[in-house]
Amino acid sequence: MKLPREFYKEDGISLAKKLLGKVLVHHTAEGVTKGIIVETESYMGIVDAAAHSYKGKKDGRCNIQYKEGGYAYIYMIYGMYYCMNIVANEEEVPEVVLLRALEPLEGIPLMEQRRKTAKRKALLSGPGKLCQAMGIGKESYGLDLCGDQLYVEEPEEKTAFEIEASKRINIDYAGEAKDYLWRFTIKNNSYVSVKVKQEIS
């Protein structure tokens, strides 16, 4: 069952946790691909120095973040890789959830073709790899996740899991925000992009 609009109208941290275990689906001319969401990161808008909308930035690519929850925010990193975020919360609250890793579920041969690898654990283990394998690019920017092209659905079989919280990846520029435990993973899942480091107290 496709997730309804109300599912996404949560704050970015709550949504990042709720998305774990759900299934991302993308219909393209080449075929359908699906993957279980196993790793997410929250970006909490105007108060988060790691967020694109920090201090209320609203122009250009950030526009879609100000819509109500349930839209795709796509951006490019390093001039070559796309990343997919899901807009959270209510209108004018620019919080998003970055999808960092999926566990491949359906359309695996197509994923392997797009990624040029048959290594199952390397297909979707990172935001750039995820978008490449799933066929998600700039044309997906702003797509309504309540539509029929790109969306999130409930898994056919629900399994219990534990959620781990850890520091977000590659945001050393963000001051104290780099230490916020706003990355969420399914504990012991082998498809996460970076193994969770255990903090020594």
pLDDT 10s digits, 61-94: 889 999 999 999 999 988 789 999 999 999 999 9
d(CA 97, CA 85): 5
Stated pTM of the model? 0.95
Task: Give yes or no for a contact between 76 and 138, defined as CB atoms under 8 angstroms apart.
Answer: yes
| Cα end-to-end distance, the chain, whole Å | 42
Q: Would the pLDDT of 200 be above 50?
A: no
Q: What is the pLDDT of residue 59?
A: 72
Q: What is the largest CA-CA distance in the chain?
A: 51
Q: Would the pLDDT of 197 be above 80?
A: no
Domain 5-186 has CATH 3.40.50.920: no
Q: What is the pLDDT of residue 198?
A: 61
* Domain range annotation of the chain: 5-186
Burial of 106-128, coded b for 16+ CB within 10 Å and e otherwise, reads ebbebbbebbeeeeeeebbbbbb
What is the residue-averaged pLDDT of the chain?
A: 94
pLDDT 10s digits, 139-185: 999 999 999 999 999 999 989 999 999 999 999 999 999 999 999 99
